[in-house]
Amino acid sequence: MSNVFYMPPVTLMGPNAIQSLGAELASKELKKALIVTDSVLVEVGLVSKLTDELTAHGIDFTIYDGVQPNPTEKNIEDGLELLANSHSDFVISFGGGSSHDTAKGIALVAANGGHIRDYSKGVHLSKKPQLPLVTVNTTAGTASEMTVFAIITNQEDETKYPVVDKHFTPIIAVNDSELMVAMPKFLTAATGMDALTHAVEAYVSTAATPITDASAIKAIELIVNNLETAVNDGQNRAARDAMQYGEYLAGMAFSNASLGYVHSMAHQLGGVYDLAHGLCNAILLAEVSRFNAKQVPERFVDIAKAMGIDTAAMTQEQAVNAALEAIDALSEKVGTKQRLADLGVTEDKLAFMAQNALNDACSLTNPRKASLEEIVAIFKARM
């Protein structure tokens, strides 16, 4: 069976990487950008790092700053309207996963027509490349700046769904660790645990390949060794830089190997309760991993080793348990080991969310198949 590997053709990485973006764009003769971001990043002045670079290279822009933390279909519709009215010929996302996912939806629908929901009933459904998309990343978590995934919320029926499309791949991605030093502690923690989840789920995915395995294992090493430092000392440049490499490698892994039940369940928590995606992943990761380890224990032994655990004198079961305990311990250290009930989750919604989780595209590559009751039980274990 053949495999396809997707990633951006150009990625600018490291401190002050954004200062190379203008020249890259000028060489492509792009004239006017729709910048997709959120109002907070505009208010704190971070977006000016991008707009100054565009202005210096004679590139015009219009800003759409209405992105929500769990981006909605309406965010995409509003962005499409502004795109048309501003006569922009390409899209730049600036921020974390919410900005990138919204921009992907805008760029894809602008080129292919219809509604973003039309592209969620399978994978790679678009017929034409999206409008040129450039992604400027400010968090070390979602890796949406380089993946073929976008996660969108339908507010009408309280569902959150993934869209998987090869045309989502941006023409240029920018991972500038200097844009990440001002990230608040909780956002650093939640997005970092999101990245760890990407790496773990990709490594145990039924679609894993040697390339995604190598990316996932190195991502786990980088994240485990640097997340706590980045949370506690946001100005630590070495930790920030290591985290942006770790989240990118995790993105390389899951963009091509896909994910599993952690994400399909977290999507439902986000859709129903509007909870932070990374926090939901952090809460669920060890419990879903406990379920999956019964099917692929050898993979969790590898994860234990990547987390720095000496497994030489351990049985397979001991090594697996050590990995699960280490995941929970890291989550507790960075402040994301929380209970769902404390976040407002109620048991009357669990069956509804469990059914939607099983219908989520991310569930297709989970290594162990679950029943509705088993998904509910995993939710309950973290209540």
Residue 157's pLDDT is: 80
User: What pLDDT band is residue 355 in, cutting at 50, 70 and 90?
Assistant: very high
**Structure confidence at residue 160 as a pLDDT band (50, 70, 90):** confident
According to the model, what pLDDT value does residue 249 have?
Answer: 98
Cα separation, 142 vs 100, whole angstroms? 9
pTM listed for this prediction: 0.95
Q: How far apart are CA 127 and CA 52, in angstroms?
A: 35
Answer whether 220's CB lies under 8 Å from 307's CB. yes
CB atoms within 10 A of CB 162: 21
Positions of E strands within 139-193: 149-154, 159-164, 172-175
Mean pLDDT of 267-274: 93
